[in-house]
Amino acid sequence: MSLLCSCGLPGRLKFHPTSQYFCSSCFSRKFEKRILNQIPRFVRGNSIAVALSGGKDSATLLHVLHKTQRKLKITKLMAIILEEGILELQLARKKIINKLKKNYSDIDFIKTSYSELFDYSLPTLVQHSDNQGLGFTPCAICGVLRRHGIMRLALENEADFIAMGNTLEDEADTILLNIIRGTPWKNSRGKIDYQPADRKSLPLRIKPLARISENAILNYSKIHQLPILTNQCVFAYRSLRSDISIFLNSIEEKNPHVRYSITSSMEEDTKRDRIVKVVQKCERCSSYSPEFECAACRMIQKIMN
């Protein structure tokens, strides 16, 4: 394969192992175009809240949306940040957020924590769950709180859409994770429309990076010298997701398209028969939920009672 980019300059960057080489500027342009292609047309003319962890994925997404804000006619771009209550992560994230605030002075950075929203930090919930042998992994607890927390912040700040930094790896690994955990129905969440009983709609989640590999995102973040959080969460080693990631990485050595195939098969599935579920406000925390009590409140009750 040629080491020259199509523009004639030396190429050294690829989107995936079998793609052609690109120079930095062609790579960057193509990368941004791929992201824009993943954003449905109906998003234009609305406000977007980016769920920002500070890692390379969400920082890259924020950068690209900020750069293309006018083209996409985004009326307001904001970043929502949820602190888990892990001190090392919090301190490192604070530095990154401060740098991002300087880079994007026109963006609102809205920060809150699990403790503020749910009364308990993640380490407290993990400790209580472990002590009682409830079998919740830290990531399972964190995932539920994050999903509800992001939605609450987006609603409070009147965002029309929530942009998530999920990558190709995140999406493919999650599909396999749900199958291994025996919860394959979670893979069909994308085809459920949640209809609140007391308002027109809820902010919709979009995942513009879902077809882009982490390696390509890392290359883009380096080209643009984005400040990114590199600290790992103290609970990461306990996640089943990292085992699945290692497994799929090893398969990718022989079949570089395996994650594309996994995500494509699920996209086909979610195109069929959309389901509408009516949701109401949770009796405890006012999050929207198909049950009287939302999944976050039910989980916290179970752990802390």
Using the minimum distance from each CB to Zn ion, give the nearer residue, 161 or 288: 288
Does 99 engage in binding with Zn ion (CB under 5 A)? no
Using the minimum distance from each CB to ligand SF4, give the nearer residue, 236 or 275: 236
Site stretch for Zn ion (CB under 5 A), options 72-80, 199-207, 230-238, 274-282: 274-282
Q: How far is the C-alpha of 305 from the C-alpha of 302, rounded, in Å?
A: 6
Dig out the tokens for 156 from the structure.
């409070």
Q: Rule CB under 6 A: which of 221-280 touch ligand SF4?
A: 233, 235-236, 239
Q: Which of 79, 175, 285, 303 binds Zn ion (CB under 5 A)?
A: 285
Residue 5 touches which member of Zn ion, ligand SF4, none, C-beta under 5-8 Å by kind: Zn ion
Q: How far is the C-alpha of 24 from the C-alpha of 5, rounded, in Å?
A: 9
| Residue 22 CB, nearest approach to Zn ion (Å) | 6
Does 117 engage in binding with Zn ion (CB under 5 A)? no
CA 183 to each of CA 57, 74, 108, 146: distance values in angstroms, whole numbers, following the listed order: 26, 36, 36, 19
Q: Which run of H or of E encompasses 16? A: none
**Residue with structure tokens 């990485």?**
249
Does 23 engage in binding with Zn ion (CB under 5 A)? yes
**Residue with structure tokens 């996994």?**
262
The three state secondary structure string of 7-49 is CCCECCECCCCCCCCECHHHHHHHHHHHHHHCCCHHHCCCEEE
| Residue 35 CB, nearest approach to ligand SF4 (Å) | 23
Does 218 engage in binding with Zn ion (CB under 5 A)? no
Per DSSP, what are the bridge partners of residue 72? none
For the chain, the C-alpha Rg in angstroms (whole number) is 20
Using the minimum distance from each CB to ligand SF4, give the nearer residue, 181 or 277: 181
Instruction: Look at residue 108 and give its three-state secondary structure.
Output: strand
Does 139 engage in binding with ligand SF4 (CB under 6 A)? yes
Alpha helices in 134-237 (DSSP H): 138-156, 168-180, 214-223
Instruction: Look at residue 48 and give its three-state secondary structure.
Output: strand
* Interaction pattern, residues 69-88, with ligand SF4; x per rule: CB under 6 A: ---------------x----
Q: Which of 5, 59, 80, 141 binds Zn ion (CB under 5 A)?
A: 5
Does 142 engage in binding with ligand SF4 (CB under 6 A)? yes
Q: Binding residues for Zn ion, per CB under 5 A?
A: 5, 7, 9, 23, 26, 282, 284-285, 287, 294, 297
